[in-house]
Structure 1
Amino acid sequence: MTPPDSKPIALITGAASGLGLALAQRLSADYSLVLVDINAAALEQHFSDGTAVALHALDLSDRAAVATWLNHQASELPRLDLLINNAGITHRSLATATQLDVIERVLAVDYLAPVQFTQGLLPLLQKSSGKIVNMGSMAGWMPVLGRAGYCAAKSALTQYFETLRAEIADTPVSILMVYPSFVDTPIEHHALDGQGLVAKHPRSMVGNMRSTEWMAERIERAIYSNRQRLFPDRFTYFASLLYRITPSLYLRLMRRRLRVELEHKH
């Protein structure tokens, strides 16, 4: 279904749950929504009332399927004003116990998919003077025990889009990088272990656990105020500064606070 021209159009990945769902609900009043998630049933469950104009089930780790879908959207959508690269997965397993295919899947969803979506939809965004929103992580700025692949993916995401920001500075497209810390979303409930199964041990964390609604409200404000970067949690922001200033101290403190991760070899 082609969204009407009366509203700007927002495309959100990972929209069936967690932060993506909260963002879709907050933005539905002002945008026509094109929502993407691997879970078709959950999309239908939450948006069967017609809140969203278009629902699409898509595995973001399947580059060929994504390319086909993007080519179709590039020709079908009349415009695109907001692209929110929200979908993500993670793992909880020590670096040496994490199989390469687990790392590849995390990289595919958390880094390559946002790049592929951006490259495929950039012409539409340029025509509409649109905005790209990416869900980074403070884990992309500093090491976190048990999440080497996730840290690598989020680091790559940050470097790619900060470079892109500089390269397209003379165009009407803007970029918002969001750096949440610990948010209560299904990404952690479905975290992979080193073999690609669901991790059995509980999540380790520092700082405060934030709700998706709390996070979505701050992202919405950042979108409307045309922010370039959003650091909603001061604790993790200062932790990232500590890592840059004195990395050895940060690593000692991080090992102490997240030591439980060292007890799980898978």
Structure 2
Amino acid sequence: MRVVLITGAASGLGWHLARACHARGDHLLLTDIDAGGLAARVAELDPARVLGIAGDICDPDLHRELLKGCRKRFGRLDVLLNNAGITHRSPTVQTDPAVFRKVMAVDYHAPLELTLSALPLLRESRGQVAAIGSMAGWMPVLGRAGYCAAKSALGQAFEVLRAEIDRDGIHLLMVYPSFLDTPIDRNALGADGKPAGHARSTIGKVRPADRMAEQLLDALKRRQQRLFPDRGSWAASLLWRIAPAFYYRQMSRRFAGEMG
């Protein structure tokens, strides 16, 4: 029996991960801030193998509830999938600092703190951790200063953490996708913290979330350290380092509509 904890599991990539893990026979602990959506998702799966606990992933009390519930219901934790995330679409100089703080809290502080809290259970199982970073953590994207900063912080922290927990037999996978077809962008915040009122711009293709879920789980099975599912965005990150002026010109044209 393998027990998997998935954050942000009520929609998007989290739900695709939950369905794929369930199909593989895993027992699941699912969490999401959308209590109604989470309850509906749990009802679609085998209740004997699934526990749902709703709450704000930034709340340390939720972390304690999740891990207590995991030990009580399943007795172990084998895989932690840090999927929950949030983004914004707004020029830096126009954005309320509260938006930056919220994005940083959800995309960086929450996954790091939950992972640290889960380490005792993961040590017992010599388990695995995965975190959803972004190519935006490697290269600047106009209108995403808070998101780029949060994903950069997440990537750096978990790259350091990998070496430290490897001594305990815990494997860590960092995933660096580009643009996915998930609610994270449809629910993006605007400069004032309300839903963004304009469509997003992208670099490269928008990838389906179900395919991303399968790639992630296969990477865990192979015990990869990093997953770069979109070679186009990976190439763009190299372009940013090799020819930053050219990269800025191209990005400025692609994202001009978001700058107001």
Common topology (TM > 0.5): yes
Once the two structures are aligned, what percentage of the paired residues are identical? 49
Q: Do the aligned residues in 2 keep the contact of 1:70 with 1:117 (CA within 8 Å)?
A: no
Q: CA-atom RMSD, angstroms?
A: 1.4
TM-score scaled by structure 1? 0.92
Instruction: Give distance in 2, aligned partners of 1:15 and 1:71.
Output: 16
What code does the residue aligned with 1:89 have? I
What code does the residue aligned with 2:176 have? Y
What code does the residue aligned with 1:260 have? G
Equivalent in the alignment of 1:4: none
Aligned partner of 1:23 among 17, 26, 40: 17
What code does the residue aligned with 1:9 have? V
Deviations 1:160-196 (Å, cap 9, x if unpaired)? 0001112223221011011111110001111000111
Equivalent in the alignment of 1:72: 68
What code does the residue aligned with 2:14 have? G
Instruction: Give distance in 2, aligned partners of 1:68 and 1:165.
Output: 23
Structure 2: give runs of 5+ residues left out of the alignment. Answer: none
Equivalent in the alignment of 2:59: 62
Equivalent in the alignment of 1:183: 180
Q: Do the aligned residues in 1 keep the contact of 2:70 with 2:77 (CA within 8 Å)?
A: no
Equivalent in the alignment of 2:30: 35
Question: What stretches of structure 1 move > 6 A for 4+ residues in a row?
Answer: none
Instruction: Give distance in 1, aligned partners of 2:45 and 2:235.
Output: 42
Instruction: Give distance in 2, aligned partners of 1:225 and 1:30.
Output: 18
Instruction: Give distance in 2, aligned partners of 1:144 and 1:15.
Output: 26
What code does the residue aligned with 1:14 have? G
1:112 equivalent in alignment to 2:109: yes
Instruction: Give distance in 1, aligned partners of 2:41 and 2:165.
Output: 36
Aligned partner of 1:210 among 184, 207, 210: 207
Stretch moving more, 137-146 or 248-257:
248-257
Deviations 1:213-260 (Å, cap 9, x if unpaired)? 111111121111111110010110000111122222212221122111
Deviations 1:16-66 (Å, cap 9, x if unpaired)? 000000000001133100000001111121221443521011111334x33
Q: Do the aligned residues in 2 keep the contact of 1:13 with 1:84 (CA within 8 Å)?
A: yes
TM-score scaled by structure 2? 0.94
Distance 1:41 1:74, change over 3 A: closer
What code does the residue aligned with 1:66 have? L
Instruction: Give distance in 2, aligned partners of 1:50 and 1:212.
Output: 19
Distance 1:13 1:71, change over 3 A: closer
